[in-house]
Amino acid sequence: MPQDVRHLVSKLALTGDPSRGGDLPQVNSPLITEGMPLFFSKALSGEMDVAC
C-alpha cells in the first residue's frame, strides 16, 4: 500500500470493518421490516427478473 494511503488510513482510523463506528438498526426494527420486501421484490426491476 502506498505511504500516502497508509497515512490516510491511520489518520482516519479506518479498519475495513463496516460494522464498526456505525449505529446499525436491529433486524426487527420497523424500518428494516418495511424495507425487506422492497429489497427482495423483483417487481421493481426493469425486466421484473432481478431483486437487489
How is residue 27 annotated by DSSP?
T
Quick one: cell of 19? 460494522
Sign, Cα dihedral of 17, 22, 28, 32 = negative
User: What pLDDT was estimated at residue 8?
Assistant: 93
**Three-class SS of residue 34?**
helix
Contact 36, 25 (CB under 8 A): no
User: What pLDDT was estimated at residue 17?
Assistant: 81
Predicted TM-score (pTM) of the model is 0.43
The per-residue pLDDT for range 1-48, each reduced to its tens digit, is 799 999 999 998 888 887 777 777 788 888 889 999 999 999 988 888
User: What pLDDT was estimated at residue 11?
Assistant: 93
User: What pLDDT was estimated at residue 16?
Assistant: 84
